[in-house]
């Protein structure tokens, strides 16, 4: 059976991480991935959508068993508890993904504080709700809080420079996210074939694991990540398009229909974002070139320097997804969408990925080594 250091560190069966994705949340998807033997991640970004995506906020809450009228700490606790309850039979391991960009700082502090309190109050929660994934920001300011706990800390980042900062912060698992990944991506386009082995060479040792993200979607790509020196792979777009995924049906259908060269990059909430190609997203890309050219030049901007009509356009487009309005909707996805053409159950998907990875690794050894 395929196995890696990630499995030993986290306590999962397969070296596969289901990415924490927004804006719809991954409450049900996390449960399914955890029960299947992968690492399931709760996406926390939905807790911040109450002011501008009210319907999505309510859906995020209710899919986690929470009442949208409750305070946010209660909502998060309810989601954590539902996940614990629904993974008890399998004893699955799960975690939460938290964006720590400047725009999300207040929300990140709430999520982390609530997670730590919930774990300290419940031994089972402490045992199985054991992974914190931070992303879209600097890990170093979080070191003091996180390193005083027994959490497995992962951070998603896009460069060797950022990986070295993760190392300095004491991150346990560094997720090297190549530019082909979906939704939030980096300001500079370094792709997984270059990024992953470079990060492995720079930081991987007995105390620091590396996981690949961006373009990983099946057994072949998982095997490639392992051969390049990673301890596993994180997959977002592939898990989004599953039966148990919390995302809207038109989002799943959009991924299955994407085809060759089916994505583009334009402005997103916290920087560059990868979207499925459509007349709507192509218009957004044109506006991005005019109003936020740093997305294509590798020069970051922020809400104080950019034209906020781009963010308004994105909010309108995401709200359109919830309403099923295909003309106004924009759908985020990675380049791997062109390799996704079905919508399986999560357990079947995980089993298939693991089997394909084993076959690919054995096949490579037989074909190329004496």
Same domain, 319 and 353: no
Same domain, 209 and 261: no
Same domain, 125 and 177: yes
Q: In which element (H, E) is residue 209 found?
A: strand 209-213
Long-range contacts, 320-329 (Cβ 8 Å, 24+)? 321/248, 321/250, 321/251, 322/53, 322/55, 322/56, 322/59, 322/248, 323/55, 324/248, 324/249, 324/250, 326/250, 327/279, 327/280, 328/280, 329/250, 329/278, 329/280
Task: Give the span between the Cα atoms of 48 and 23, in whole angstroms.
Answer: 9
Average pLDDT over residues 199-223: 97
β-strand partners of 212: 176, 233
CB burial readout 30-39, b (16+ within 10 A) else e: bbbbbbbbbb
- In the predicted structure, residue 52 carries a pLDDT above the cut 80: no
Same domain, 235 and 359: yes
Task: Give the span between the Cα atoms of 85 and 21, in whole angstroms.
Answer: 22
Spatial contact of 19 and 234, defined as CB atoms under 8 Å apart: yes
Q: What is the CATH number of the domain that holds 107?
A: 3.20.20.70
Largest Cα–Cα separation, the chain: 64
- What does DSSP say about strands 271-276 and 263-268: parallel, antiparallel, or unpaired? antiparallel
- In the predicted structure, residue 364 carries a pLDDT above the cut 90: no
Task: Give the span between the Cα atoms of 245 and 342, in whole angstroms.
Answer: 13
- In the predicted structure, residue 49 carries a pLDDT above the cut 90: no
pLDDT tens digits along 59-97: 999 999 999 999 999 999 999 999 999 999 999 999 999
Same domain, 56 and 69: yes
Same domain, 44 and 128: yes
- What does DSSP say about strands 263-268 and 209-213: parallel, antiparallel, or unpaired? unpaired
Number of domains in the chain: 2
When pLDDT is cut at 50, 70 and 90, the band that residue 228 belongs to is very high
Tokens of 27: 């409450």
Same domain, 27 and 132: yes
Same domain, 224 and 269: no
Task: Give the span between the Cα atoms of 154 and 139, in whole angstroms.
Answer: 9
- The residue segments making up the domain with residue 316 are 252-335
Spatial strand order in the sheet of 233-235: 16-18, 233-235, 209-213, 173-177, 152-157, 129-135, 94-99, 40-43
Question: What is 279-316 written as a DSSP string?
Answer: HHHHHHHHHHHHH-THHHHT----TTTS-THHHHHHHH
Q: Is the peptide bond before 249 cis (omega within 30 degrees of 0)?
A: no
Check residue 210 and give its pLDDT: 98
Q: Which is nearest to 216 in space by CA: 240, 194, 192, 200?
A: 192
Same domain, 257 and 240: no
Task: Give the span between the Cα atoms of 3 and 18, in whole angstroms.
Answer: 16
**Distance in Å from the first CA to the final CA of the chain:** 23
The Cβ-side half-sphere exposure at 247, using a 13 Å CA radius, reads: 27
Q: Which residues of 232-359 form beta strands (DSSP E)?
A: 233-235, 263-268, 271-276
Contacts of 365 (CB under 8 A, 6+ apart): none
β-strand partners of 94: 40, 129
Average pLDDT over residues 312-325: 91
pLDDT tens digits along 152-182: 999 999 999 999 999 999 999 999 999 999 9
Lowest mean pLDDT among 70-79, 310-319, 360-369: 360-369
Same domain, 328 and 349: no
The percentage of the chain sitting over the pLDDT mark of 90, rounded to a whole number, equals 84
Tokens of 323: 């309403």
Same domain, 243 and 257: no
Same domain, 108 and 204: yes
């Amino acid at each position: 059976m395929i196995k890696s250091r990630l499995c030993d560190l986290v306590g999962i069966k397969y070296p596969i991480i289901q990415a924490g994705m927004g804006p719809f949340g991954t409450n049900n998807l996390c449960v399914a991935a955890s029960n299947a033997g992968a690492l399931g991640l709760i996406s926390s970004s939905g807790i911040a959508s109450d002011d501008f995506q009210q319907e999505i906020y309510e859906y995020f809450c209710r899919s986690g068993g929470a009442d949208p009228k409750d305070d946010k700490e209660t909502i998060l606790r309810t989601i954590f508890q539902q996940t614990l309850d629904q993974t008890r039979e399998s004893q699955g391991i799960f975690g939460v993904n938290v964006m720590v960009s400047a725009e999300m700082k207040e929300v990140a502090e709430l999520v982390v504080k609530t997670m730590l309190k919930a774990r300290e109050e419940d031994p089972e929660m402490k045992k199985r709700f054991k992974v914190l994934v931070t992303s879209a920001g600097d890990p170093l300011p979080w070191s003091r809080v996180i390193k005083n706990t027994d959490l497995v800390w992962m951070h998603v980042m896009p460069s060797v420079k950022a990986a070295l900062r993760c190392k300095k912060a004491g991150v346990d698992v560094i997720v090297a996210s190549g530019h082909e990944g979906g939704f939030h991506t980096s300001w500079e386009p370094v792709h997984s074939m270059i990024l992953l082995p470079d990060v492995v060479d720079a930081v991987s040792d007995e105390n620091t694991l590396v996981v690949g993200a961006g373009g990983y979607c099946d057994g072949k790509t998982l095997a490639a990540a392992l051969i390049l020196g990673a301890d596993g792979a994180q997959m977002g777009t592939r898990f989004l398009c599953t039966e148990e995924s919390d995302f809207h049906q038109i989002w799943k259908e959009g991924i299955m229909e994407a085809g060759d060269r089916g994505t583009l990059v334009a402005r997103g909430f916290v920087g560059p974002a990868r979207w499925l190609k459509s007349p709507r997203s192509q218009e957004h890309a044109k506006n991005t070139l005019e109003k936020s050219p740093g997305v294509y030049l590798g020069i970051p901007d922020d809400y104080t320097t950019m034209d906020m009509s781009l963010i308004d356009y994105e909010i309108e487009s995401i709200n359109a997804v919830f309403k099923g309005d295909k003309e106004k909707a924009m759908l985020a996805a990675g380049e791997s969408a062109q390799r996704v053409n079905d919508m399986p159950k999560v357990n079947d998907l995980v089993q298939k990925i693991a089997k394909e990875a084993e076959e690919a690794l054995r096949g490579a050894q037989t074909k190329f080594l004496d």
